[in-house]
Amino acid sequence: MPPSLIQDIRAGFATALEHLNDGGKWIKVSPYVLASPMPPTIQVMPGEITYDIANARGGDQIMFTLQAFVVNNFDQSAQINLDRMLDDSDSYSIKTLVEADSTLGGVIDDLRVVRVSGYQVYSLSGRGPVLGADWEVEVLTSSV
């Protein structure tokens, strides 16, 4: 089965965020939602799709959430890294990394990191409270 556009977009996000992995030293990026995510990790979740933003299947709008789980012991150094991911002037900035190639290698027409939730405390099964944040990304696709 050939990869779908959404699969390609997921892969594009993973590639865009590879820098954060720092050669395997830091955060892992999963294009798919993980059954049991182990911080630090980022997972990609497709959200609402608005079909037919242009006539004749000219394009769709797809929302994605990039969900980062940074640390489960509220370690200060991990919080500093999360701050860096929030800060669009930093080399760890999610917004800057994702928007560096706004077509994800030609897969889509355009994207924009619209907003970030700020610090969130997640409750993951078997891990206790986990600190992280959600980035909302708007993707515009075109059928031609």
Residues that bind other proteins (CB under 8 A): 52-59, 61, 112, 114, 140, 142-144
Is 43 exposed, middle or buried (CB count within 10 Å of its CB: 0-12, 13-18, 19+)? buried
Minimum separation from the CB atom of position 12 to other proteins (A): 20
Q: Is 3 exposed, middle or buried (0-12, 13-18, 19+ CB in 10 A)?
A: exposed
Q: Compute the least distance from the CB of residue 45 to other proteins, in Å.
A: 21
Nearer Cβ to other proteins, position 55 or 76?
55
Q: For residues 48 and 77, which CB has a smaller minimum distance to other proteins in the complex? A: 48
Written as one string, the DSSP assignment of 34-50 is -SS--SSEEEEEEEEEE
Residue 20 is classified by DSSP as: G
- Cβ 103 to other proteins, closest distance in Å? 12
Backbone angles phi, psi at 96, to 5 degrees: -65, -45
Q: Which residue has the tokens 């594009």?
A: 12
What are the E-state strand segments in 55-141? Answer: 59-71, 110-116, 120-124, 128-141
Minimum distance of other proteins from residue 102's CB (angstroms) = 13
Name the residue nearer to other proteins (CB basis): 27 or 139. Answer: 139
Q: Which is nearer to other proteins, 91 or 143 (CB)?
A: 143
